[in-house]
Amino acid sequence: MRRQARLAILAGWAVVVAAATPAWPQADESASTEVESGKDLYLRHCALCHGIDGTGNGPLAAAMQTAPSDLTRITVEHDDTFPAAKIADVIRNGGGVLGHGSTAMLAWGTYFSERRKPEVARGRIKALVGYIESIQQK
């Protein structure tokens, strides 16, 4: 029963997010490589699990079996070095990336690609990685 309740909560939040999230802008070919800011992408796609402040306390966190990571401590946990390439891999490929610790996180690489344009996905992931780097604890 607990699992069914969690799934119902997650499904409800997914409907709320889908209704509140605008579709990707339909860009013409010349503007297709423009990306949203990393903060906008984060708030739209990551904050539900990781929280607005990145500490893992988003509204869906309580319903998850594996708690979302505290994204503000990545640098602290990696000897004061921000592993940008590793973070990009986790965003692109999901939680199945070696060392992420869980397969609970979805892969966003294909989703971020507008009409299967890899350069758009790369730009969005780069912007998101930059934003996550900017919220690291000092």
From CA 56, how far away is CA 71, in angstroms rounded? 7
Q: pLDDT at residue 12 above 90?
A: no
From CA 62, how far away is CA 64, in angstroms rounded? 6
Query: DSSP letter at 61?
Result: G
117: in domain: yes
74: in domain: yes
Domain boundaries, position 14: 2-23+41-134
129: in domain: yes
Which pLDDT band, with edges at 50, 70 and 90, does 126 fall under?
very high
Closest to 132 (Cα-Cα) out of 57, 50, 38, 47: 38
88: in domain: yes
Q: pLDDT at residue 28 above 70?
A: no
61: in domain: yes
Digit-coded pLDDT (tens) for 36-69? 799 999 999 999 999 999 999 999 988 888 889 9
92: in domain: yes
Digit-coded pLDDT (tens) for 71-120? 999 999 999 999 999 999 999 888 764 444 455 677 887 887 777 788 88
From CA 65, how far away is CA 86, in angstroms rounded? 23
Count of domains observed in the chain: 1
Q: Does the predicted TM-score (pTM) go above 0.85?
A: no
34: in domain: no
> What pLDDT does 4 receive?
57
109: in domain: yes
